[in-house]
C-alpha cells in the first residue's frame, strides 16, 4: 500500500519510506491511501501475533514495504517483551450493557501504552532500512509528555545504526517518568530536558524536520531523521491492534454478540490512540461512539463541541501530565478523513494554527450512529472516578485512565450528546499506564498521604490499596539507578544541542 500526505505536497510513498521519513516533507502526516477491510470474526480466537500481523500486513508489506515473514517475526519479538501472557489483557468491570472492558495497555517494559508500538517500531525501522537499502545512521528524534520518551529510549537502545534523542519538559512529567528517562542506559541514547512544555518540545522536533540547513548538515554526516512520536505511521498501526483484541475479548466473555458495537473511550492529548480507533472502526471492527477524554487542557473537547481549535490558552499542569498538551498532532489525520481527503483545507487549517494558534473548521461529522465525541474531567472528578472504581471493583487505575472513566459516565448520562441518552452498550476504556507511575496522585485520590520520598510512596500505595502485586520492579528499581542524563536547555538551543551531542 502507498501513503499520501495530509497536505498533498508529496508523491505517494511505500511503507518503508514513510516509516523512515516520519513527518512528510511538506509538513503533513502520512495516511494510507485506503483503510484495508478486516474479517474480524476470523480473528476472534487468534493470538496477538496473528491478529497484529493480519491488521498491519496490508499496510506494511508489498510494493515499497517490508517482507511478510519479517513483519511476523518482528511482532513476535516485540510481544515477548511484555510481562503478561496476553500483550493487552482486558479487565472486565461490571456486567451486561453497563460493563467496561479496561484495555490494560501497560504490561510492557516501561509500564505505559506506548510500549505496544515502541517495542515494535525499532524492528520496523530496521526492516525499512533494509528494504530501502539505506546506509548511514537513523536519528530518531522524539518529543515526550512523559511516556513516549522512556518507551522510545528503551526500544531503540543499542539498536545498530541508530541514535535516539528525546526532549521532555522538565516540569511537565511525573517524578517516575523523569527518573525513567534520566537513568536510561545505552550507548546511542540522548535525553534533553527543556525549559517549556510538551508543545514547545513538539514544535522543536517539527522545526528541525523542516530546517533544510540542519537536515543537510546531518545528512552530510550520514544521519537521516525519523521520529518515534505518533506522527510516525509505525506508531499508529500497532495501536489499531488492541481494538481488535479488545473487541474479541468482550465477545469471548459473552458481553456482546456478533456485529454488536461497543463504545470506546480514550484519554488523550495528542489524539493518536483515538485516531487508531477511527481506523479500526473504518476497517470493520464493530466500534460505536469513539469518545475523546481530556483533562483541564480541554482544547480537543472544545474543538469537537464548537468546530474551532483554539490553543491560545495557558497550559494547566495536572495529575495526568501525558495529556497536558494544547497542539494535538494527530488531529490533522482526523481532519483529513473528516474532509474526505481535502488536502488544501487541511493545509490551510494547520498553517493557520501554526501562525495564530487557532483555526475555524466548522461543522464536524459528529452526528449519526457512530460519532466521535469529547468530554472533560477536572482533577477532582478524575480523582473521584479513580476512588470509585477502586471501591467498587478493587481495580487500581492511573489518573489518565480515571479521566476516561469519568468521561464515560458523562457520555452514558447524555451529557456529551445534548441530553440524548445513547444506546446502552458495553465500552472499551484505554487504561494507559501503571498507577505506580503517578503514585502520589493515586494515593491522594484514595485518601492516603504521599511520602516526600516517592519510592516510599510506592510502598504506601500498595499497602493502602491492598495491592498484593505492588509496584512493578522496573519502577521500584529506579531508586538504585544512576542518573545518566541531566542536561536541560532552552527551546531555541535544541537544534544546536542535538548536533553537539551527536558529535560525541
pLDDT tens-digit map of 430-486: 999 999 999 999 999 999 999 999 999 999 999 999 999 999 999 999 999 999 999
pLDDT at residue 158 tops 60: yes
Contact 3, 21 (CB under 8 A): no
User: Is 440:454 a contact under the CB 8 Å cutoff?
Assistant: yes
For domain 3-118+233-379, which CATH number applies: 3.40.190.10, 3.40.50.2300, 3.40.50.1100, 3.90.1330.10?
Answer: 3.40.50.1100
Mean pLDDT, range 141-157, rounded to an integer:
93
How large is the average pLDDT for residues 258-271?
96
Helix (H, G, I), strand (E, B) or coil at 85: coil
Q: Which DSSP string do the residues of 374-443 spell out, in sequence order?
A: EEE--HHHHHHHHHHHHHHH-----HHHHHHHHHHHHHHTTTTTTT-PPPP--EEEEE-B-GGGGHHHHH
| pLDDT score recorded for residue 208 | 85
* Mean pLDDT computed over 242-259: 96
Sign, CA dihedral 481-485-491-495, equals negative
499 — pLDDT class (breaks 50, 70, 90)? confident
Q: What is the rounded distance in angstroms from the CA atom of residue 491 to the CA atom of residue 493?
A: 5
Distance between CA atoms of residues 74 and 317, nearest Å: 37
Per-residue pLDDT at 26 exceeds 90: yes
Q: Which CATH class, in words, describes the domain spanning 137-221+483-502? A: alpha beta
Cell reading at 392:
467498587
Residues of the chain with CATH 3.40.50.1100: 3-118+233-379, 137-221+483-502
Distance of CA 301 to the CA centre of its chain: 18
Distance CA 459, CA 180 (A): 18
In this prediction, residue 368 carries a pLDDT of 57
- Please tell me the distance from the alpha carbon of residue 65 to that of residue 127, in angstroms, as a whole number: 9
The overall average pLDDT reported for the chain is 94
Contacts of 219 (CB under 8 A, 6+ apart): none
**To 5 degrees, how large is the angle CA 145–CA 148–CA 154?**
140
Q: Tell me the pTM.
A: 0.95
d(CA 123, CA 503): 25
What pLDDT sits at residue 504?
A: 58
Q: Is the pLDDT reported for residue 369 higher than 80?
A: no
pLDDT at 503 over 90: no
Overall average pLDDT of the 323-331 stretch:
95
Q: Quick one: pLDDT band at residue 371, thresholds 50, 70, 90? A: confident
What digits encode the pLDDT tens for the residues 69-124?
999 999 999 999 998 889 999 999 999 999 999 999 999 999 999 999 999 999 99
**For 379-425, how does the pLDDT look when each residue is reduced to its tens digit (9 = 90+)?**
999 999 999 999 999 999 999 999 999 999 999 999 998 888 999 99
**How does residue 276 score in pLDDT terms, banded at 50, 70 and 90?**
very high
Lowest mean pLDDT of 199-208, 270-279, 321-330, 403-412, name the range.
199-208
Amino acid at each position: 500500500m502507498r501513503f499520501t500526505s495530509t497536505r498533498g505536497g508529496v508523491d505517494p510513498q511505500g511503507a518503508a519510506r514513510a516509516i523512515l521519513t516520519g513527518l512528510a516533507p511538506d509538513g503533513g502526516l502520512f495516511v494510507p491511501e485506503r483503510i484495508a477491510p478486516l474479517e474480524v470474526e476470523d480473528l476472534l480466537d487468534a493470538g496477538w501475533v496473528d491478529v497484529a500481523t493480519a491488521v498491519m500486513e496490508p499496510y506494511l508489506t508489498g510494493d515499497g514495504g517490508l517482507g511478510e515473514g519479517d513483519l511476523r517475526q518482528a511482532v513476535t519479538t516485540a510481544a515477548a517483551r511484555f510481562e503478561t501472557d496476553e500483550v493487552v489483557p482486558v479487565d472486565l468491570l461490571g456486567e451486561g450493557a453497563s460493563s467496561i472492558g479496561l484495555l490494560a495497555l501497560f504490561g510492557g517494559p516501561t509500564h505505559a501504552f506506548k510500549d505496544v508500538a515502541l517495542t515494535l517500531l525499532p524492528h520496523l525501522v530496521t526492516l525499512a532500512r533494509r528494504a530501502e537499502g539505506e546506509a548511514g545512521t537513523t536519528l530518531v528524534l522524539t518529543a515526550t509528555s512523559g511516556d513516549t520518551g522512556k518507551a522510545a529510549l528503551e526500544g531503540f537502545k543499542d539498536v545498530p545504526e541508530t541514535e535516539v534523542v528525546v526532549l521532555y519538559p522538565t516540569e511537565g512529567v511525573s517524578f517516575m517518568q523523569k527518573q525513567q528517562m534520566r537513568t536510561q542506559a545505552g550507548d546511542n541514547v540522548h535525553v534533553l530536558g527543556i525549559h517549556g512544555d510538551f508543545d514547545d518540545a513538539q514544535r522543536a522536533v517539527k522545526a528541525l524536520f523542516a530546517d533544510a540547513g540542519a537536515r543537510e548538515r546531518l545528512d552530510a554526516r550520514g544521519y537521516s531523521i525519523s521520529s518515534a512520536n505518533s506522527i510516525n505511521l509505525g506508531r499508529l498501526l500497532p495501536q489499531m491492534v488492541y481494538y481488535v483484541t479488545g473487541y474479541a475479548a468482550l465477545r469471548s466473555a459473552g458481553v456482546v454478540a456478533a456485529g454488536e458495537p461497543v463504545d470506546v473511550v480514550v484519554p488523550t492529548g495528542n489524539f493518536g490512540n483515538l485516531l487508531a480507533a477511527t481506523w479500526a472502526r473504518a476497517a470493520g471492527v464493530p466500534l460505536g461512539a469513539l469518545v475523546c477524554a481530556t483533562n483541564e487542557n480541554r482544547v480537543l473537547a472544545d474543538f469537537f463541541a464548537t468546530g474551532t481549535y483554539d490553543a491560545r490558552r495557558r497550559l494547566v499542569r495536572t495529575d495526568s501530565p501525558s495529556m497536558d498538551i494544547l497542539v494535538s498532532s494527530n488531529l490533522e489525520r482526523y481532519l483529513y478523513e473528516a474532509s474526505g481527503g481535502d488536502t488544501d483545507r487541511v493545509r490551510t487549517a494547520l498553517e493557520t494554527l501554526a501562525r495564530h494558534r487557532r483555526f475555524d473548521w466548522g461543522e464536524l461529522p459528529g452526528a449519526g450512529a457512530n460519532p466521535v465525541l469529547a468530554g472533560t474531567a477536572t482533577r477532582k472528578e478524575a480523582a473521584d472516578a479513580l476512588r470509585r472504581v477502586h471501591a467498587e471493583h478493587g481495580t487500581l487505575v492511573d489518573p489518565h485512565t480515571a479521566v476516561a472513566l469519568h468521561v464515560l459516565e458523562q457520555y452514558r448520562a447524555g451529557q456529551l450528546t445534548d441530553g440524548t441518552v445513547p444506546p446502552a452498550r458495553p465500552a472499551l476504556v484505554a487504561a494507559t499506564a501503571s498507577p505506580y507511575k503517578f503514585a502520589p496522585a493515586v494515593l491522594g485520590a484514595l485518601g492516603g498521604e504521599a511520602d516526600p520520598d516517592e519510592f516510599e510512596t510506592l510502598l504506601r500505595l500498595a499497602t493502602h490499596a491492598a495491592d498484593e502485586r505492588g509496584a512493578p520492579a522496573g519502577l521500584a528499581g529506579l531508586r538504585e539507578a544512576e542518573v545518566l542524563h541531566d542536561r536541560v536547555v532552552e527551546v531555541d538551543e535544541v537544534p544546536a544541542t542535538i548536533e553537539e551531542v551527536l558529535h560525541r
